Structure 1
Amino acid sequence: MTDRITHRFSKPELLQQALRHRSAGSPHNERLEFLGDALVNLLVAEALHERWPKADEGTLTRARASLVRESALAEVARRLRLGDRLELGPGEMKSGGHRRDSILADAVEAVVAAIHLDAGFEACRAAVLPWFEPGLAELPTGKAEKDPKTRLQEWLQGRQLPRPAYRLLETLGDDHARVFRVACETTEPPHEEQAEGSSLRAAEQLAAERVLAKLEKK
């Protein structure tokens, strides 16, 4: 895994902390995750700004969101094989926490922060940007697909139909591993789909995507 990260830590304890989930005790990676979230957003925004000189703010914002969303960061973690090195408490180990998107995404952000604290911003940029190259390469130049909730709303508005409604059906899991189950419902045409996610927003997006897929088939 260290080879896939490519950065050689002068302070290995930073990497160790970045890969320790709160369920495994302190010092865990939540503070590093906080810093890493800001760094990842900055690095990706900077890369898009340089590569897409003619893109407007909305396009850049949507592209960044697609690259730094939880599922995208979890894929980065899988390519780096971070799940194999995560330090988890017994409960998280039994429940497969090393495969959960939310835990993997948090670990990526924490590792980014650890690299920054270990060697500075330039070293962080050099090590981290290659992790996002596959995602950047998949985006059409200067374009980024809108998120499912936006696309569903625009699909309905374009046909002069009522906006969709979202309902929180259930919240499961411990505080550090919440799972939200939501429903997305349209009245015209009547349709409902449910989905789960590690955040309310993620669950709503997935439910909207499922509703839109059904509507577009009709």
Structure 2
Amino acid sequence: MFQRRLGYCFTVSQRLGRALTHRSYTAEAAEDTGDYETLEFLGDAVLGLILGTYLYERYPHCNEGQLSQMRSRLVSEISLAGLARQIDLGDFLLLGRGEESSGGRQKDSLLAAALEAVLAALYLDAGLQRAQEAFLSCFAEAIKRRLASPQGQDYKGLLQQKGLGAFGCVPTYQTVREEGPPHQKTFHVRLSLTPEYDCIGIGPSKKAAGQDAAEQLLRLLRQHDI
């Protein structure tokens, strides 16, 4: 069932079994068949390469910093857990009794780690190209939505409230650059709150770029305890 959702049938089923096994399960099992922790390590690297390639090819006009910023949004724990839920990954995990009773199947940290482990198992079973094809076949649309609306939160609205409360003013947004062909544009939006606080956001639409800029500035304000 899970392989059908993933769109790939493993030639070595033990690889997938290990990728779906949490250490709490092996701790209680009579025989140690291994868990997904080392696969998670490998999966993190495979995921970085797949997403790096995807972003490099989709946004050729973006610089290194901009691409890194987009990738960091995609590999966050919340983002990966959301992808895992899309294919009901939690339903197929092998968990120990304690982890099961504490709601482990819905924990973001556990789901994100398991997704990376599954990707590593797929890579070991079929190679990078097939792993990339399967991953993007499952998640390309979700990735596009994530880039268009980071974490699904209204960062512009949150920043407006913060600006009024802390500085007595609201942020302004200005589109400073558009790049790429009409069907695949990248927008750069400058956000200004005060002379000391401004930044530029990027995204596949003006709205997404504005959200990205607002997210950046909110993070900066938090760092400054504002």
Change (3 A) 1:124 1:58: same
Structure 1 residue 151, shift from structure 2 partner = 1.7
CA-to-partner distance for each residue in 1:19-58, whole Å, 9 max, x for gaps?
A: 0001111400001000000111110010000000101112
Matches within 5 A, 1:47-126: 47-126=54-133
Structure 2 residues without counterparts, runs of 5 or longer: 27-31, 149-184, 187-201, 204-211
Match of 2:14 in 1: 13
Which amino acid in structure 1 is aligned with residue 218 of structure 2?
A: L
Partners of 1:14 and 1:146 lie apart in 2 by: 41
Give the conservation status (yes or no) of the 8 Å contact 2:21–2:36.
yes
Change (3 A) 1:124 1:93: same
TM-score normalised by length of structure 1: 0.68
2:60 partner SS: coil
Please tell me the root mean square deviation across aligned C-alpha atoms, in Å.
Answer: 1.9
Match of 2:135 in 1: 128
Change (3 A) 1:131 1:51: same
Change (3 A) 1:76 1:147: farther
Give aligned pairs, total.
159
CA-to-partner distance for each residue in 1:97-145, whole Å, 9 max, x for gaps?
A: 0000000000100000000111111111111122331233222453242
Change (3 A) 1:53 1:23: same
Give the conservation status (yes or no) of the 8 Å contact 2:3–2:10.
no
Structure 1 residues without counterparts, runs of 5 or longer: 157-161, 165-185, 187-218
Give the conservation status (yes or no) of the 8 Å contact 2:73–2:79.
yes
Which amino acid in structure 2 is aligned with residue 115 of structure 1?
A: L
Give the conservation status (yes or no) of the 8 Å contact 2:83–2:142.
no
Tell me the percent identity: 39
TM-score normalised by length of structure 2: 0.66
Which amino acid in structure 2 is aligned with residue 11 of structure 1?
A: V
Partners of 2:109 and 2:213 lie apart in 1 by: 22
Shift >3 Å, 4+ stretches:
153-156
1:64 partner SS: helix
Give the conservation status (yes or no) of the 8 Å contact 1:67–1:132.
no
Change (3 A) 1:64 1:153: closer
Matched, 1:34 2:35: no
Partners of 2:18 and 2:213 lie apart in 1 by: 35
Match of 2:218 in 1: 152
Match of 1:24 in 2: 25
